[in-house]
């Protein structure tokens, strides 16, 4: 099921703005990465399988990076991923994924997205 989304933000005066293109894509990617699989009642198959596949002991950084990267690539406007870095802090056990995201809106200048779990 495909739904329409209209990313929104507020300007300096508190007025509602509709964002477009690159900023809208940034918001959609961040929203996609913040949804845990199985938690959205409308579609329990949507989301990143953090609990099912990524946050297992021990965390496999390669598998986690692959799953998160594939989730980002599901956005129609994303064309490819550039440099991807991962870090697993052994003390806090926080896994951080950072990627350059290329899109149809900017083929030469990617934006960066990051998720820490």
pLDDT tens across 5-25, in order? 555 566 677 776 666 788 888
Residue 3 lies inside a defined structural domain of this protein: no
Residue 1 lies inside a defined structural domain of this protein: no
How far apart CA 90 and CA 112 sit, in angstroms, is 24
pLDDT mean over 60-75: 94
Residue 106 lies inside a defined structural domain of this protein: yes
Q: What values do phi and psi take at 52, rounded to 5?
A: -75, -40
CB neighbour list of residue 87: distance below 8 Å, 6 or more residues apart: 95, 96
Residue 57 lies inside a defined structural domain of this protein: yes
Residue 103 lies inside a defined structural domain of this protein: yes
Task: Give the domain range for residue 51.
Answer: 8-116
What global pTM score does this model have? 0.80
Whether 85 shows a pLDDT value over 70: the answer reads yes
Total tally of structural domains belonging to the chain: 1
Domain harbouring 88, CATH code: 3.10.450.40
How far apart CA 25 and CA 39 sit, in angstroms, is 22
1 falls in which pLDDT band (50, 70, 90)? very low
Q: What values do phi and psi take at 35, rounded to 5?
A: -90, 115
Residue 2 lies inside a defined structural domain of this protein: no
């Amino acid at each position: 099921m495909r739904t329409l989304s209209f990313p929104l933000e507020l300007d300096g005066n508190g007025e509602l703005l509709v964002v477009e293109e690159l900023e809208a894509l940034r918001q959609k990617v961040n929203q996609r990465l913040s949804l845990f699989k199985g938690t959205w009642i409308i579609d329990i198959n949507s989301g990143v399988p953090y609990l099912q596949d990524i946050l297992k002991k021990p965390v496999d950084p390669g598998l986690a990076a692959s799953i998160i990267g594939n989730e980002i690539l599901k956005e129609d406007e994303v064309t490819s991923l550039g440099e991807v870095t991962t870090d697993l802090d052994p003390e806090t056990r926080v896994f951080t994924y950072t990627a350059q995201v290329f899109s149809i809106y900017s083929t030469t200048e990617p934006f960066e997205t990051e998720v820490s779990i």
